[in-house]
């Protein structure tokens, strides 16, 4: 049971971070379907930071520098979406899909190049971080506390405060609801949309490094992130673009994802003798069911996905 709670919290942390990223972007009026690719690139930045940082540095510095590297790479990668969809008014769905495809491919090529440069016989796409990973985890009896759980909680509270209690958040949401009206009172819509996309990239990058640290000591980047970017979008929609509801939705989806790691520890589940792939499929099946039942009542930002045109009214 403790292991189930542990995995539920860490997978929920991943989903919360990435879903909050999508929330910022869509509140600004830009649909970020490229979260999957952003997660991969963020995971790459964080993994390489762990690989090359001196192992002797204090644990808190390892956590902060690796998280910062993941966020910075996520921000840089998401700028491709911002340039294409905001400045050049490209189709946001197509750009996001391209970022997903490019992310996994680029990360795989980069890691293979680094590994080959260090050892010509090593052509794998794996980055090992066995010792650094230990600094992200604190044993509290049988429960392993991952520092990303705390980081996620802080960013969740910050997201609620920023969106509903600050001028920036209210202006951001105005740009996603009626950008022309926002522009008429002096709000720079282009600037706000850029801000939303870049924040989305930073949070997506953090979600990526959190995902690969969930239970392994190395990651092969050709595996991507197993659809967690899309699952986070489902969490965001089910949570109605609101941070508190997103957190609750993420806990539910995280629970079903955690079952695939721990079902053998439950006698009644193990007795069913179902293939492990069934449990791996559960969160995605649940997401389809939930979206089918709730999509009619979704309250997405009205101007999301629509390129901003100053001449429109």
Per-residue pLDDT reduced to its tens digit, 162-208: 999 999 999 999 999 999 999 999 999 999 999 999 999 999 999 99
> Is the pLDDT higher at 129 or at 217?
129
- Domain covering 2-297: architecture: Orthogonal Bundle (1.10)
**pLDDT value of residue 2:** 85
- Beta-bridge partner residues of 128: 218
Per-residue pLDDT reduced to its tens digit, 123-168: 888 998 988 998 999 988 888 899 999 999 999 999 999 999 999 9
**pLDDT value of residue 61:** 94
- pLDDT average, residue stretch 20-46: 97
Question: How high is the mean pLDDT of the chain?
Answer: 91
Q: What are the residue ranges spanned by the domains of the chain?
A: 2-297
**pLDDT value of residue 266:** 61
- pLDDT average, residue stretch 84-104: 96
Residue 88 in this model has a pLDDT that exceeds 80: yes
What is the percentage of the chain residues whose pLDDT exceeds 90?
69
- Measure the CA–CA gap between 114 and 244, rounded to whole angstroms: 41
- Name, in order, each residue with C-beta under 8 angstroms of 151's C-beta and a sequence gap of 6 or more: 13, 67, 206
Distances (CA, A) of 310 to 30, 189, 305: 16, 9, 15
pLDDT classification of 284: cutoffs 50, 70, 90: confident
């Amino acid at each position: 049971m403790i292991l189930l709670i542990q995995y539920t919290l860490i997978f929920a942390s991943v989903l919360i971070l990435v879903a909050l990223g999508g929330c910022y972007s869509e509140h600004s009026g830009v649909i970020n379907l490229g979260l999957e690719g952003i997660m991969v690139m963020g995971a790459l930045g964080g993994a390489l930071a762990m690989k090359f940082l001196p192992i002797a540095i204090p644990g808190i510095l390892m956590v902060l520098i690796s998280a910062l590297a993941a966020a910075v790479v996520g921000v840089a990668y998401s700028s491709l979406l911002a340039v294409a969809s905001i400045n050049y008014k490209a189709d946001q769905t197509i750009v996001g899909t391209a970022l997903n495809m490019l992310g996994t491919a680029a990360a795989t090529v980069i890691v293979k190049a680094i590994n080959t440069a260090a050892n010509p016989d090593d052509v794998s796409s794996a980055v090992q971080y066995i010792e650094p990973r230990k600094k992200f985890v604190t044993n509290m009896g049988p429960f392993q506390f991952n520092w990303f759980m705390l980081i996620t909680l802080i960013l969740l509270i910050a997201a609620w405060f920023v969106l509903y209690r600050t001028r920036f958040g209210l202006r951001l949401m105005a740009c996603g609801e009626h950008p022309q009206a926002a522009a008429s009172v002096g709000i720079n819509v282009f600037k706000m949309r850029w801000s939303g996309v870049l924040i989305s990239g930073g949070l997506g990058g953090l979600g990526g490094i959190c995902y690969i640290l969930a239970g392994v000591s190395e990651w092969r980047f050709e595996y991507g992130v197993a659809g967690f970017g899309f699952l986070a979008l489902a969490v965001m929609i089910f949570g109605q673009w609101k941070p508190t509801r997103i957190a609750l939705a993420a806990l539910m989806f995280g629970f079903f994802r955690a079952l695939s790691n721990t079902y053998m520890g439950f006698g009644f589940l193990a007795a069913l003798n179902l293939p492990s792939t069934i449990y791996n499929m559960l969160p995605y099946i649940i997401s389809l069911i939930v979206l089918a039942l709730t999509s009619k009542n979704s309250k997405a930002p009205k101007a999301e996905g629509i390129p901003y045109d100053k001449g429109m009214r």
